[in-house]
Structure 1
Amino acid sequence: MASTLFRNKMLLKQLSPFNLLKRHGYIVLVPEIGEDLPEKNPLVQQNGLPEFNSLTIENCMAAIGKYAFDLEMGVQNIEEIVRCNLVKDVFENVLNPLENAGSPLDATWGLSKTLYLGNSTIMPTKSYLAIHDRARKSRATKFNNTLIYETVQSDNNSNRTGEQIRLLQKFKLEGKLNGLDLKDGNRARFNDLLSQLHVEKGKFKAAIEMATKAFSHRINEASVVKDFPTDLLRAMASDPSNHLKAPWNATLQPNVYLPFMENCSLRDLRWNIWLAMVGRGATFGNQNSCTSRHLEEIRYLRREQAKLLGYDSFADMSMETKMASGVDDVRNLLETLLEAARPAQETELTSLHEFALQYGFKDSKIELWDVPYWRRRQQNELFHYRENDYVHYFPLPTVLDGLFALCKNLFNIDIQQRKDVSTWAKDVKFYDIYEHDSTEPIGGFYLDPYIRSVQKMHIPYHNGWMVGIQSRSKITNMKPLAALVLNFPPPQGDKPSLLTFKDVTLLFHKFGQTLQHLLTQATYSDVAGLSNIEWDVVEVSGYTLAHFLYNKSTIDMISGHCDNGDKLPVEMFDALTSFRKHTAGLDLCRELYLSALDLELHSNKEFWVDVVKSLWPRFRCFPLHKFDSHPCSFTQIFVEEWGAAYYSHVWARMIAADLYSAFHEASDNDQLVDVGKRFRDTFLALGGSCHPSEVFRQFRGRDPSPKALLSSLGLNKKKNT
């Protein structure tokens, strides 16, 4: 205790307000460090893994405080070395020490996020947000430091490895985008712009949340909801414990809106709710929830931000952190895909209208608020596809065994459960990953598969996360550690957890990302695994692994009826592949439109209404409704991280389809294994240590093509149905 008090006094002396004001401008509150660190803190690695059973909010906060302080002190020490001209080598004297100082903070931050998603009793939202904010600000100090930035820029060693060059480029780009090249008044103006952006984003978000919560349509007639699925009725019921009893409320919440549109047979009701959805933030609605002014202010501030940094537009600035070489590269992809998708959209809507007419539809054309309902009915009629028919074929243990076997065959790894491991809940399991015939694991991951209504984070239509708890670092001798936090249905009695095909797809997607985190071969954590990967290819490994689900041999590996072990029948597999392609042109055109809208809003100064009017007819086959104000609720690009980056969804799918086509082209298992090794040696091993364009060329031997994506969607030729 005495030594702790002495240490805290020394820390207070080091944190003299005069020194802070003069040299750094950030403050560390010493009491958050705690008195039982580091020896007694269970977040510190013990026998290779954390002791989750002993975690408390207090020691999580204490650990973040300590490691954030350590990193900030490390940055100060490096500043002194730079000032004294003692930097002999930028890696030996700057980047390696930063790696040592920052890795414990990153790992503790990852553990805290895992607990937040997996057990809110241990890590409530308020506590995690405090941890997140503290860690984020501390981590930013190494990328927002002028002396470190100038030192990295001055490195002229021509013998750097590719990974070292990539790490140097990361520090240079982070510094540039943080405004470290700006002088005096421009720097102050830049920081003011960022502060104003933060405020405007907050106002936009609050207004849309208000508009979303404000709408509710009360339904008292049981006949209206008689064909609704049980989950939807529970979400709509005033009394969820008695979901068959009126009244029910149709809302704009994600777990209600789309299922309602798919199942409601009354066109007037669908139109009413659709109009409320696309009218959020509109000028004709409640002025307290109007976002048009905030939308334009965000665009203006982003233009000014980009201009100060030397870019023609915010979209051009955004391309600095993307695989796409520039805005024109993205536009070319969108146009190429549109050439195939637009004719398919027209054919699909004609087919959908003809189908609807057979079943009582009276209007001369299908409108946007009609599509979800009639599409679902057409899918049922054409493919007899009903999601609940599939769950019996996908017990979670069988799916996991098949997934692990597939990874063993493709990537030459063994995945083995390690028991008696401390976890945050009794049904969480831990797995080690081994190189084949090796006794020392190269990494590991926690699997938290089941929904827990009281303890666990659950966002409707967002059923899973992959958390990179700890990144690989040769400098600090740290092995990669990850967590898969999912919300699958728990076992019922002697029945295992049964997954829908959507659940299986999510599992494969998240596991693809997990493999990229765990199988990395990078030296530095800042470029290992998913770190430093360009925004438009972050999802590529996940999409690539999910493509295997449309291969019958993979389905045979992961399926087994819960009663008799039978594999998924061929006709049900064929229905899956046909279902995937149904109205693919319509769906792709929507994504292409939103991608183009995002790019144009961040490339020019036209009023948003004029941008919409210009783009809409090129991408959509529907007339633009006079009250449709969808950009006013486009939170992904104005509040979240997708500004001038929404196209990344389509881009990543294009890259993944092209990658998977190499596996598809393999004529036998030996060739398949060779392709798997090449994929592991490139996309899984290199991660963010190499530019994705080069990684792709190493794997495919050429630049990417959209042909495979179009083929997978059945759009490589004009669709007739």
Structure 2
Amino acid sequence: MQNPLLSQFDLAPFSKIKSEHFEPAFREALRQAKEEINKITENTATPSFENTIEALEASGEQLNRVASILFNLNSAETSTEIQQIAQQVSPWLSEFSNDLILNETLFARVKSVYETKDSLALSTEQAKLLEESYANFSRNGANLPKDKQEQLRAIDQELAKLSLQFGEHVLAETNNFQLTVLEESKLEGLPDDAKETAAQLAKEKGLEGFLFTLHYPSYLPFMKYVKDRDLRKEMALAFGRKGFQDNANNNEAIVLEVANLRFKRAQLLGYETHAHFVLEQRMAKTPTQVNNFLEDLLNKAKPAATKEFEELSNFAKEQDQIDQLQKWDAAYYAEKLKQKKFDLNEEELKPYFELSNVIKGMFTIAGKLFDLKFEEVDDIDVYHEEVKTYRVTNTEGNFIAVFYADFHPRPGKRDGAWMTVYKNQQITAGENSRPHISIVCNFTRPTATKPSLLTFNEVTTLFHEFGHALHGMLANTTYASLSGTSVYWDFVELPSQLLENWCYEEEALALFAKHYQTGEVIPMHLVEKIKASSNFQEGMQTLRQLSFGRLDMTWHGIDPTSITDVKSHEINAFKGTKFYPDVSENCMSTAFSHIFQGGYSSGYYSYKWAEVLDADAFAYFKEKGIFNKEVAASFKATVLSQGGTIAPMELYKKFRGQEPKPEALLKRAGLLLVEE
């Protein structure tokens, strides 16, 4: 049987891949990778940067390509077979990683080169690769005695398995719930678009009436617009109990086990907690600095948040005699209040944000800023017919990247939005091998009568993920492991959050905010309303993000061995940041995929951390002009192209000429005014 995963491919051969190809592909790719490592360790020549560090960097490329395809499919287009394969190969990959890190001969060679680094006349990027290579060994057990190394192996294999199980459970819980409403009268307040989508979904499932799910394009409009409070409660409870029900998908034991295993692992390696281990390679450096950052923002945002909640509570009381706001009231009354204060209805905006128009405008903005051109093509293989593909070039016609975009929810796709990589940029044998980048989203689907019309939140999400994609596409480094988004985790959100700012600017909106029927550019009065409402409930939104960051740190910045109840721990972590009464049937940790499945453990604070950077950076754009070529070229040459080759703060200062000022964020968020 010819295995497409073992052929020499540039573009991922999705249409040729069958589930049964993965196991033999992993076995062979692992064999090749081990052989490449053996060549390094068996080399009798004196260890050098070239024969050890560069050789190590170049090893395992086939394995990395195969793994990227499997695990990206497991997120974007999974199946029972794919999930089983992921469970099967994860321990293999964990074992290989441990074998590599704990290979004494290999570490001895790396250490030998590292100890002579001052005499090697390395370039900045070479020096960084050497530093990262050595740290990868020393931070992950290479200096441990044999018995502790074996404990580390067991922990890493178990963590890999638990992470996959956690994600499978959340996806199953998301897919398992559906709410059928037979009478249209019960959906008072829900826009016609959302009703049409729900009716279409019910029809596809062979059901009468209207069908709603926990996927965001279905769930969010329901919670924002449906007047029936009991129905909103039913949906909210279902959403909040993912992984927290008495069934096979319960994640409570997994959460406790992951937290304890991460702590045990950190202790083995000589760190106080998992957060101490993680943050050593972050801009924030220590849990103390993270906690101080979160508390400082909390103190600045809480007065505004308290006023906002009082205002919302009073409004709900006036409107519907609601004595106590509950979580299922939040989006509904916030939307009503927003309409009243700013005369702005989200539904009024949607006709101006037709998905294909927004994409074209986004590409135009990237062209104006970074001299890029995006050509949609149909000769690139995809894993699902809905995936769009683009060939990206610069204005001189040079090939820059392949870009995949997958926009709508499906049962095999996890919720949320993310950017991912199928092939990293790197320079090998003098050739600049360009990257293959993908974004995956869950946006409102087209209906029988209308194209995909985005909410404004979906527009900013698209720009956010595209910012990550640009970081990957414009990478220009020698080594793959330092390329693109391979930067400190609390720096990686800067390009994504920065790009969101263009969604609020009249000059940018004129490029893509056009009525899908008439072609009319969004009227100025609506632009002004978008701007005026941009800080609506910013205090409460800030507290929400800070609460998630604190929850993350309470799982990973302390000794978790005494925690026996996930829910009780969570209630304690949220103290001082929550306004709504607790819901006993709900728990966030059991579906907190960012930290228990994704890479954000001890790093959720980075969203707010990067907001400080992005607010300061965009203030520079605003000062010089949002399409200023010099500022954009500087951002491209520093932040977007340099990857992890230079320390993040050095890169930022090269771009900005100074360290970021937190005042920029507070001013943009309207929180400085509250202070005064």
Using structure 2 for the length normalisation, give the TM-score.
0.84
Task: Please list the CA deviations of residues 155-193 of structure 1 after superposition, one character each: whole Å capped at 9, or x if unmatched.
Answer: 222222221222223222322343222102222233333
Task: Please list the CA deviations of residues 524-565 of structure 1 after superposition, one character each: whole Å capped at 9, or x if unmatched.
Answer: 11111113x122232321111121111111111223333343
Q: Do the aligned partners of 2:3 and 2:25 also contact (CA within 8 Å) in 1? A: no
2:553 matched to 1:599?
yes
Task: Please list the CA deviations of residues 101-137 of structure 1 after superposition, one character each: whole Å capped at 9, or x if unmatched.
Answer: 433443454456677777779x966667777776776
Match of 1:29 in 2: none
Match of 1:15 in 2: none
2:473 matched to 1:473?
no
Task: Please list the CA deviations of residues 422-452 of structure 1 after superposition, one character each: whole Å capped at 9, or x if unmatched.
Answer: 4337776654444443x432x2223445659
SS of 2:402's equivalent in the other structure is strand
Q: Do the aligned partners of 1:218 and 1:250 also contact (CA within 8 Å) in 2? A: yes
Match of 1:680 in 2: 636
1:706 Cα deviation (Å)? Answer: 2.8
Given residue 69 of structure 1, which amino acid in structure 2 is its aligned partner? R
1:662 Cα deviation (Å)? Answer: 1.6
- More moved, 675-684 vs 422-431: 422-431
Match of 2:674 in 1: 718
Task: Please list the CA deviations of residues 195-225 of structure 1 after superposition, one character each: whole Å capped at 9, or x if unmatched.
Answer: 5545666776677778778877776665433
1:273 Cα deviation (Å)? Answer: 5.5
Match of 1:306 in 2: 266
Q: Do the aligned partners of 1:349 and 1:366 also contact (CA within 8 Å) in 2? A: no
Task: Please list the CA deviations of residues 591-623 of structure 1 after superposition, one character each: whole Å capped at 9, or x if unmatched.
Answer: 112211221332334646775565544222345
CA distance, structure 2, for counterparts of residue 54 and residue 393 of structure 1: 39
Task: Please list the CA deviations of residues 277-321 of structure 1 after superposition, one character each: whole Å capped at 9, or x if unmatched.
Answer: 556677xx7497776565444433332221111111122112123
1:519 Cα deviation (Å)? Answer: 1.5
Q: Do the aligned partners of 1:42 and 1:50 also contact (CA within 8 Å) in 2? A: no
Match of 1:407 in 2: 366
2:519 matched to 1:565?
yes
- More moved, 704-713 vs 106-115: 106-115
CA distance, structure 2, for counterparts of residue 290 and residue 104 of structure 1: 36
Match of 2:482 in 1: 527
CA distance, structure 2, for counterparts of residue 536 and residue 243 of structure 1: 42
> Number of residues paired by the alignment?
664
Match of 2:577 in 1: 619
1:367 Cα deviation (Å)? Answer: 3.4
Match of 1:653 in 2: 611
Alignment counterpart, residue 516 of structure 1, candidates 465, 471, 474: 471
CA distance, structure 2, for counterparts of residue 630 and residue 467 of structure 1: 25
Unaligned runs of 5+ in 2: none
CA distance, structure 2, for counterparts of residue 203 and residue 98 of structure 1: 31
2:316 matched to 1:356?
yes
Given residue 167 of structure 1, which amino acid in structure 2 is its aligned partner? L
CA distance, structure 1, for counterparts of residue 76 and residue 214 of structure 2: 27
Q: Do the aligned partners of 1:404 and 1:415 also contact (CA within 8 Å) in 2? A: yes
Q: Do the aligned partners of 1:113 and 1:467 also contact (CA within 8 Å) in 2? A: no
CA distance, structure 2, for counterparts of residue 634 and residue 427 of structure 1: 28
Equivalent residues in 2 for 1:285-684 (5 A)? Answer: 286=246, 295-363=255-323, 365-411=324-370, 413-417=371-375, 421-424=379-382, 430-437=389-396, 439-441=397-399, 443-448=400-405, 451=408, 457-459=412-414, 461-462=415-416, 464-476=417-429, 477=431, 478-485=433-440, 498-531=453-486, 533-605=487-559, 607=563, 612=570, 615-622=573-580, 624=582, 629-631=587-589, 634-666=592-624, 672-684=628-640
2:9 matched to 1:44?
yes
CA distance, structure 1, for counterparts of residue 592 and residue 491 of structure 2: 22
Percent sequence identity is: 25
- More moved, 675-684 vs 609-618: 609-618
1:479 Cα deviation (Å)? Answer: 2.1
2:185 matched to 1:185?
no
Unaligned runs of 5+ in 1: 1-33
Using structure 1 for the length normalisation, give the TM-score.
0.79
Given residue 578 of structure 1, which amino acid in structure 2 is its aligned partner? A
Cα RMSD (Å):
4.2
1:329 Cα deviation (Å)? Answer: 1.7
Structure whose CA Rg is larger: 1
CA distance, structure 1, for counterparts of residue 212 and residue 268 of structure 2: 46
Q: Do the aligned partners of 1:118 and 1:448 also contact (CA within 8 Å) in 2? A: no
Given residue 658 of structure 1, which amino acid in structure 2 is its aligned partner? D
